């Protein structure tokens, strides 16, 4: 039986800012852009009490929490802390699968540290992270990646939760359906409208019904609702793009028209990424402009997270080179570890 640990740092970016500026301790803090188009990259628990969350427009966050302390993103500082944390992981196993700067899976099945106890290994890793960085981490310990990730949220912040192999199916069965990977807000609401609220209710569907209701994702979902997940911890992640684009019936002529169109597309992209739990996995942001002569210009920037304001920066760069009327705009991101990507599961009406 495998022993999988999912480590998730607590409010990583915000925690680093509070660590480095003690005057922020105990106060609501959000990390993100301060401009009119700024977006919350992350926030601490004090801010979440007011309804602030990642991907929220900063102006909305400030309306919900006027006393919110907004700090600009400092990726160099976050990467430095992430490198220290990953070095700690490597001391326990070489089977480490980073999901983002602040999240990773570890397979410690063959480790003899702490007499092979994954629960004790997770506790020791969390202790070492705190001693090395001053930051807290939460952990989930389980026989597979699906349950380990869910379990890491169980005792947040600064805690851990273990799901023994014999409890895997019962643990998953009592979960609300929205906890399952691949079931987003739309599908969850439609299932709720049909009286389906817990995973145990989905286990009543046969394999054939799963395929009928959810298409090819039904194959994986059939296993997930039973606590089965055979995905391996892969130390080498892949990168793939997710994008949204629009071809306009009338060319966009003015700078304002172009900027507003980009802003709308960025929010569509952000909603798609949030729905599929991909916001923490963004590596790069990219912009594509095609003018009325079908000439295409592209630009990208490495951000390490989703920053909505970066697209306006890219636009200014491209517009300075070519300000001619625009026919097509595309906004995209490069996603790390695309194995975990699943589009919103299709929902068939005949449930």
Reported as type and span, the H/E element at residue 40 is: strand 40-43
Mention every residue, 6+ apart, whose C-beta is less than 8 A from residue 112. Answer: none
Buried b (16+ CB within 10 A) or exposed e, 175-197: bebebbbbbbeebbeebeeeebe
Rounded Cα gap, residues 5 and 28, in angstroms: 30
Phi, psi of 244 (to 5 degrees): -135, 135
DSSP 3-state of 331: strand
User: Burial, 78: exposed, middle or buried (Cβ in 10 Å; 0-12, 13-18, 19+)?
Assistant: buried
Rounded Cα gap, residues 50 and 2, in angstroms: 40
- Residue 289 CA from chain centroid, whole number: 27
Output the CA angle 156-157-158, nearest 5 degrees: 110
Place of tokens 């196993």: 93
Cα–Cα nearest to 339, from 174, 229, 218: 229
Catalytic-role residue among 17, 97, 103, 309: 103
Active site residue 103: yes
Give the N- to C-terminal CA distance of the chain in Å, as an integer. 35
- Residue 334 CA from chain centroid, whole number: 13
244-to-88, 241, 264, 268, 271 alpha-carbon distances in Å: 38, 10, 10, 7, 11
Rounded Cα gap, residues 327 and 296, in angstroms: 10
Reported as type and span, the H/E element at residue 199 is: helix 199-202
Q: Kind of pairing, strands 160-162 and 137-142? A: parallel
Positions marked active-site: 103
């Amino acid at each position: 039986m495998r022993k999988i640990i999912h480590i998730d740092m607590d409010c990583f970016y915000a925690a680093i800012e509070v660590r480095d500026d003690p005057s922020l301790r105990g106060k609501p803090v959000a990390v993100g852009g301060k401009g009119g188009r700024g977006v919350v990259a992350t926030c601490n628990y004090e801010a979440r009490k007011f309804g602030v969350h990642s991907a929220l427009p900063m102006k909305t966050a400030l309306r919900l929490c006027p006393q919110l302390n907004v700090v600009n993103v400092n990726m160099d500082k976050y990467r430095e802390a992430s490198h220290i944390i990953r070095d700690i992981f490597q001391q326990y196993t070489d089977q480490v699968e980073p999901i983002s700067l602040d999240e990773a899976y570890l397979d410690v099945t063959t480790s003899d540290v702490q007499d092979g106890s994954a629960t004790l290994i997770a506790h020791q890793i969390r202790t070492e992270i705190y001693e090395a960085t001053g930051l807290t981490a939460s952990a989930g310990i389980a026989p597979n990646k699906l349950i380990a990730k869910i379990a890491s949220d169980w005792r947040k912040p600064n805690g851990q939760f273990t799901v023994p192999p014999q409890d895997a199916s019962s643990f998953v069965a009592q979960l609300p359906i929205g906890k399952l990977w691949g079931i987003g807000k739309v599908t969850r609401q439609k299932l709720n409208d049909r009286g389906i609220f817990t995973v145990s209710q989905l286990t009543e569907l046969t394999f054939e019904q799963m395929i009928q209701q959810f298409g090819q994702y039904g194959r994986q979902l059939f296993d997930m609702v039973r606590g089965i997940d055979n995905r391996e911890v892969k130390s080498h992640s892949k990168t793939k793009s997710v994008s949204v684009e629009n071809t306009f019936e009338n060319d966009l002529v003015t700078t304002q028209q172009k900027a507003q169109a980009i802003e709308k597309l960025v929010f569509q992209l952000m909603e798609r990424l949030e729905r599929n739990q991909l916001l923490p996995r963004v590596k790069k942001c990219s912009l594509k402009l095609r003018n009325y002569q079908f000439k295409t210009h592209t630009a990208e920037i490495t951000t390490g997270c989703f920053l909505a304001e970066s697209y306006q920066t890219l636009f200014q760069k491209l517009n300075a080179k070519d300000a001619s009327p625009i026919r097509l705009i595309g906004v995209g991101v490069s996603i790390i570890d695309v194995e975990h990507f699943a589009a919103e599961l299709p929902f068939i009406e005949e449930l």
